[in-house]
């Protein structure tokens, strides 16, 4: 599969435009306290900072650690901010920062960016699946069918995350190879072999527990991979459309 992306693909799939969707993405970075790098002077200078607050009009972020760098930044009309969270690179452009006070501390403030990029290599692009349109997976190992109709939580063309009953804890282990299948409305049955990468026990309703499984595909037909990638793109497009409404 061709894993390169041209500029048009990037713009169509990963460029988020509009104040509501941009604000939503920035709020996620703020909640996670993700460190960000700010580049200015055509990339020759940079500082490390964190985003502090986003409003419908402004983005506020912390001062850098060096006074002289902060002073130089105040004279710059354009800068870019980049960070990586969970393998996803976020990048956006800001205008000239102005000094402000945030909760009694000095900070920088800029107008809310009009757009940002969320970049991730296509083969690793993973989406959390919508609750209102769930996918259910059937899982089997070499000896027997383990489970049917268990919820698929997230998926990429490289792997997926799903739940199994806690009673199956003794039936599977990290490193095991499994067979699974699920149906996509537009593409029919998807079948693949995968290797279990992690197993986590989580509380469920009524004081029960379930197993959250992460698996990486080891044998995935090209046609299925392409169909799954189209599905992932559609889910992400719908998610962005909902944020705009």
User: Within the chain, which residue ranges are assigned CATH 2.40.10.220?
Assistant: 127-244
Average pLDDT of the chain to the nearest whole number: 80
Q: So what's the pLDDT on residue 4?
A: 38
CATH number assigned to the domain covering 7-120 = 2.30.110.10
Which two structure tokens, joined as six digits, stand for 189? 């049955």
Helix, strand, coil proportions of the chain in percent (round to 5)?
25, 45, 30
In this prediction the pTM is 0.50
Convert the pLDDT of each residue in 150-178 to its tens digit: 778 888 777 888 888 888 788 888 888 88
Cα–Cα distance for residue pair 84/230, rounded to 1 Å: 24
**More confidently predicted of 22 and 141:** 22
Please work out, in degrees rounded to the nearest 5, the angle formed at the alpha carbon of residue 26 by the alpha carbons of 20 and 29: 150
Q: Please give the average per-residue pLDDT across 56-76, as a whole number.
A: 93
What does the alpha-carbon distance between residue 14 and residue 30 come to, in Å, rounded to a whole number? 20
> Average pLDDT of 119-132?
60
Q: Are 221 and 228 in contact (CB under 8 A)?
A: no
The CATH number, out of the four listed (2.40.10.220, 1.10.10.10, 3.40.50.300, 3.40.1280.10), of the domain defined by the range 127-244? 2.40.10.220
Write down the pLDDT at residue 205.
59
More confident residue, 203 or 96: 96
Q: Is the pLDDT of residue 211 over 60?
A: yes
């Amino acid at each position: 599969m061709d894993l390169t992306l041209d500029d048009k693909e990037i713009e169509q799939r990963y460029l988020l435009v509009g104040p509501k969707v941009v604000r939503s993405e920035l709020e996620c970075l703020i909640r996670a306290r993700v460190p960000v790098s700010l580049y200015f002077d055509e990339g020759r200078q940079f500082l490390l900072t964190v985003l502090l607050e986003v409003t419908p009009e402004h983005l506020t972020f912390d001062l850098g650690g060096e006074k002289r760098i902060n002073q130089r930044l105040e004279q710059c009309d354009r800068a870019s901010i980049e960070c990586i969270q969970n393998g996803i690179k976020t990048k956006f452009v800001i205008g000239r920062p102005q000094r402000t006070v945030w909760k009694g501390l000095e900070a920088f403030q800029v107008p809310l960016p009009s757009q940002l990029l969320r970049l991730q290599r296509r083969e690793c692009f993973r989406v959390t699946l919508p609750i209102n349109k769930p996918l259910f997976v059937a899982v089997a190992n070499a000896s027997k069918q383990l489970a049917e109709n268990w919820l698929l939580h997230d998926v990429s063309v490289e792997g997926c995350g799903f739940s199994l009953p806690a009673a199956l804890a003794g039936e599977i282990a990290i490193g095991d190879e499994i067979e699974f299948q699920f149906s996509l409305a537009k593409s029919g049955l998807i079948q693949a072999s995968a290797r279990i990468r992690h197993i986590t026990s989580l509380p469920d309703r009524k004081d029960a527990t379930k197993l959250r499984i992460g698996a990486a595909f080891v044998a995935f037909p090209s046609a299925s991979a392409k169909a799954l990638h189209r599905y992932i793109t559609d889910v992400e497009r719908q998610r962005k459309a909902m944020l705009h409404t």
